[in-house]
């Protein structure tokens, strides 16, 4: 192999925080390099630096692309093309090296590199939602002035390569997440790039769909002799795709080697996890004969909640599982006082009083809602407020700065941060965190209000396996320290098994099974397991 991208003494510093620390790495032409690490390790920022388009990243050091450039038309290819004929005009390809971090390098040189680089960004599909799938790919081919006489055939070929020929006439917005990700890949392949950066490309997909996307990337790398850099906090991704792997932790490269060896080292980050027996208190939530119906024009009356009854005890961690449409969201809205026109009873105990969550008014459910925390699946943070401000604003009270920081750090630790990392992030903005870290800050926003009961809606959607265990451990420790009660609505059966004392399986608005977690999970059908594995 030939040296393609050479990284020398790369550093990125935001304020006092070094998010990349003395990165030195050589990427060979044609290899698939897997970069693994926990959320916040620096994987995403590294890819964005290597792409070379974001001038706002405070990077220092060198990122040198060793390439071949046509003497006639300026087309850029990987270094193995030196001395060959240009595939665009037939001119001679000469050796050409560019340091994209060199301030003296002309912008046109950086752009020449960037035009030959493709990127897939996590959870960002970058599609024309109202266009058909094939039209999305045709647009990408138009951008590179592809021959109009062959453009439709080429678009169809690209969709066939990512196994989406059966979806080419669908509207893009109507696709599943995995299908959208493959359209993104087809659009990127339309550029015939010399390198692909894939940032957590399958982090939110079910295992079966992820395998399809992985194979599509492998095939694309082979078909185009393309170099691939792929980041993930899931070791299966690195195992499936990478020919070599890099382990990152807190902005540093701690190991480079064979994927299996690097994965083995990565798993050492996994903390010992122990779920101790806990004796729950008296009931804190009582649901009896709860019913909620909706009317749909095409489906008629839908019984979202169909006459269900159960209790949750104080200090208990109670899981609610089921596929989409089972009634989980309607139930969580009823429990938190956010569901109207509902029959039956939902009561929450505040002190010695039972409050009816179906009765509107400040002295009814209004009194209880301030003691019930809710973290939605689609959480939000104020992008222009620091982390400490995001947390203290959630309380709605003025705090002395010292007390605010102390309270924020304590809550961030409950949400899964180390004490040092919690202290580090107080003064920075949400955009400077990884997606997994932002999810934990959103959880801390809920916990800082000191609720008596917390309802978590799909709390593990973006978390890597190690962070998931950290958060599970934090939930258990907060229960032991302050007797917190949790109701966890989740499709993640592994997490429910890890953290919950009891669980309830819902199907078509009814309770199928309620009891110890193992017994409930045994009642989940194979079809339901497959659907829940795809995520929320």
Is the same domain home to 88 and 231?
A: yes
As a 3-state breakdown, the chain gives helix, strand, coil percent values, each rounded to 5, of 35, 30, 35
Nearest partner of 460 among 508, 427, 429, 494, judged by Cα: 494
Q: Is 127 a member of any domain?
A: no
- Res 298: pLDDT: 63
- Exposure of 218 by Cβ count < 10 A (0-12 exposed, 13-18 middle, 19+ buried)? middle
Q: pLDDT 10s digit of each residue in the chain, 536 long?
A: 689 999 999 999 987 778 899 999 999 999 999 999 887 788 888 998 998 877 778 999 999 999 999 999 999 999 999 999 999 899 999 999 999 999 888 888 888 998 899 888 765 556 877 889 999 999 999 988 888 999 999 999 989 888 888 888 998 888 876 788 788 888 888 888 999 998 877 765 656 667 777 888 888 888 878 999 998 877 888 888 899 999 999 899 999 999 999 998 988 776 656 677 888 889 999 999 999 987 766 667 778 899 999 999 999 999 999 887 788 888 988 999 988 888 999 999 988 899 999 998 888 888 998 899 888 766 778 888 999 999 987 776 566 677 878 888 988 887 778 888 899 899 888 877 876 678 788 888 888 888 899 998 887 765 667 777 777 877 887 787 778 899 999 888 889 999 999 999 999 899 999 999 999 999 988 888 776 765 55
End position of a domain, from candidates 227, 243, 269: 269
Alpha helices (H) along 31-87: 43-51
Which of 450, 485, 506 is the C-terminal boundary of a domain?
450
Measure the CA–CA gap between 391 and 374, rounded to whole angstroms. 14
Q: What is the pLDDT of residues 291-331, one digit of tens each?
A: 998 776 666 777 889 999 999 999 999 999 988 778 888 89
Bridging pattern class, strands 32-36 and 227-232: parallel
Q: What is the pLDDT of residue 257?
A: 95
Quick one: pLDDT at residue 410? 86
- What does each C-alpha distance from 1 to 4, 27, 202, 277 come to in angstroms? 9, 10, 28, 55
In a domain, 88, yes or no: yes
Residue 335, domain member (yes or no): no
CATH code, 20: 3.40.50.300
Q: Supply the pLDDT for residue 492.
A: 85
Domain annotation covers residue 134? no
User: Each residue of 19-49: b (16+ CB within 10 Å) or e?
Assistant: bbbebebebebbbbbbbbbbbbbbbbbbbbb
Q: How many structural domains comprise the chain?
A: 2
Contact of 280 with 501, CB cutoff 8 Å: yes
Query: Are the C-beta atoms of residues 275 and 499 closer than 8 Å to each other?
Result: yes
Residue 437 within a domain: yes
Domain termination residue (choose one: 269, 296, 313): 269
pTM of the model: 0.66
Maximum Cα interatomic distance, the chain, rounded to a whole number of Å: 85
* 18 falls within a domain: yes
Q: What is the pLDDT of residue 275?
A: 76
- For the chain, the distance separating the N- and C-terminal CA atoms, rounded to the nearest angstrom, is 42
For residue 21, is it within any domain?
Answer: yes
Spatial neighbors of 245 by CB under 8 A, at least 6 apart, are 33, 34, 35, 36, 238, 256, 257, 258, 259, 261, 262, 263
| 259 and 391 inside one domain | no
Whether residue 340 lies inside any domain: the answer is: no
Give pLDDT, residue 215. 82
Give the domain range for residue 419: 382-450
């Amino acid at each position: 192999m030939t040296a393609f991208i050479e990284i020398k003494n790369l550093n990125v510093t935001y304020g006092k925080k070094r998010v990349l620390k003395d990165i030195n790495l050589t990427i060979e032409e044609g290899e698939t390099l897997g970069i693994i690490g926990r959320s916040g390790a620096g994987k995403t920022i590294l890819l964005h630096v290597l792409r070379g388009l974001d001038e706002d990243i405070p990077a220092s050091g060198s990122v040198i692309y060793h390439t071949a450039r046509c003497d006639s038309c300026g087309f850029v290819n990987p270094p193995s093309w030196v001395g060959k004929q240009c595939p665009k005009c037939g001119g001679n390809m000469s050796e050409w090296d560019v340091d994209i971090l060199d301030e003296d390098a002309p912008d046109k040189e950086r752009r020449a590199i960037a035009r030959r680089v493709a990127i897939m960004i996590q959870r960002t599909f970058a599609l024309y939602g109202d266009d058909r799938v094939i039209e999305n790919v045709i647009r990408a081919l138009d951008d590179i002035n592809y021959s109009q006489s062959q453009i439709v055939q080429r678009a169809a070929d690209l969709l066939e390569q990512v196994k989406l020929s059966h979806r080419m006439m669908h509207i893009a917005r109507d696709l599943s997440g995995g299908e959208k990700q493959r359209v993104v890949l087809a659009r990127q392949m339309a550029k015939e790039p010399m390198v692909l950066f894939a940032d957590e490309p399958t982090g939110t997909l079910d295992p079966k769909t992820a395998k399809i996307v992985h194979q599509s990337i492998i095939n694309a790398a082979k078909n185009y002799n393309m170099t691939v850099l792929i980041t993930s906090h899931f070791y299966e991704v690195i195992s499936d795709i990478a020919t070599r792997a890099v382990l990152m932790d807190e902005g540093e490269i701690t190991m480079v080697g064979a994927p299996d060896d690097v994965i083995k080292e990565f798993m050492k980050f996994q903390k010992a996890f122990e779920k101790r027996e806990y004796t729950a208190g008296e009931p804190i939530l009582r649901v009896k004969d709860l019913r909620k119906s909706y009317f749909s024009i095409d489906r008629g009356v839908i019984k979202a909640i169909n006459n269900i009854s159960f209790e949750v005890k104080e200090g208990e961690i109670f899981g609610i599982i089921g596929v989409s449409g089972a009634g989980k969201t309607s139930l969580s809205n009823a429990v938190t006082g956010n569901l109207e026109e509902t029959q039956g009873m939902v009561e929450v105990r505040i002190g010695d009083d039972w409050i009816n969550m179906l009765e509107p008014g400040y002295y009814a459910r209004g009194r209880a809602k301030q003691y019930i925390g809710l973290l939605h699946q689609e959480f939000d943070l104020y992008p222009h407020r620091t982390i400490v401000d995001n947390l203290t604003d959630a309380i709605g009270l003025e705090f002395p700065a010292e007390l605010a920081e102390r309270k924020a750090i304590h809550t961030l630790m409950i949400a899964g941060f180390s004490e040092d990392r919690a202290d580090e992030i107080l003064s920075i903005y949400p955009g400077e965190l990884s997606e997994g870290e932002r999810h934990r800050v959103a959880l801390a926003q809920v916990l800082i209000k000191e609720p008596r009961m917390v309802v978590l809606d799909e709390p593990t959607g973006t978390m890597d396996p190690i962070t998931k265990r950290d958060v599970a451990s934090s939930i258990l420790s907060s229960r032991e320290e302050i007797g917190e009660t949790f109701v966890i609505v989740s499709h993640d059966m592994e997490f429910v098994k890890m953290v919950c004392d009891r669980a309830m399986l819902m199907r078509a608005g009814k309770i199928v099974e309620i009891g110890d977690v193992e017994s409930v999970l045994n009642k989940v059908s194979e079809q339901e397991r497959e659907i829940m594995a795809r995520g929320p």
